[in-house]
Amino acid sequence: MIHKQDGSARLRYLKLSYGGVCGFLPLPTLAQLADKRPPDNLSLHPAQLVIAAEENLGLSSGDLEAIGEFHVFVDVPNGPVQIFLARFTTIDPPFAQVQSRDAEFIELPQARNLPQVELELMREVYTLVIGG
């Protein structure tokens, strides 16, 4: 989940209570970015995940929205997993709400200790949202 400040290129990632930025549970240790989308996987719709994330973070309905252009898969021991991206729709990041759930917003320099797969996902997000 990300927040991009309107009118600037300031991009923040939501770091969750377990210490990472991917969903509410960490990815397996052996996870790695998939080279390509699995041919037999159907794309899932992220609407239920967005609603669950809003509820988990104590946000209002509509505070998050899915970014449909993000199509990334991660290889894990049980097979590929589709990764979804959501962005906060609020003008400013909801610092207080996420802090009450032991989460925080970070920028790329603060992410250097995250697992390699999460850093690669963050790079993919940055490329999609900011360009480059």
* pLDDT tens digit at each of 132 positions of the chain: 999 998 888 999 999 999 999 989 999 999 999 987 766 656 677 899 999 999 999 999 999 999 999 989 999 998 888 999 999 999 999 999 999 999 999 999 999 999 999 999 999 999 999 986
CA distance 132 to 3: 18
pTM over 0.85: yes
Q: Which residues face 64 on adjacent strands?
A: 88
Strand arrangement of the beta sheet that strand 104-106 belongs to: 64-66, 86-88, 2-4, 11-15, 104-106
Tokens of 22: 């991917």
pLDDT at 112: 95
pLDDT at 41: 55
CA 124 vs. chain centroid, Å, equals: 10
pLDDT at 132: 64
Residue 64 · residue 53 · CB < 8 Å:
yes
Residue 120 · residue 27 · CB < 8 Å:
no
CA distance 101 to 80: 29
pLDDT at 37: 73
pLDDT at 42: 61
pLDDT at 91: 93
Tokens of 41: 């996987």
Chain length of the chain: 132
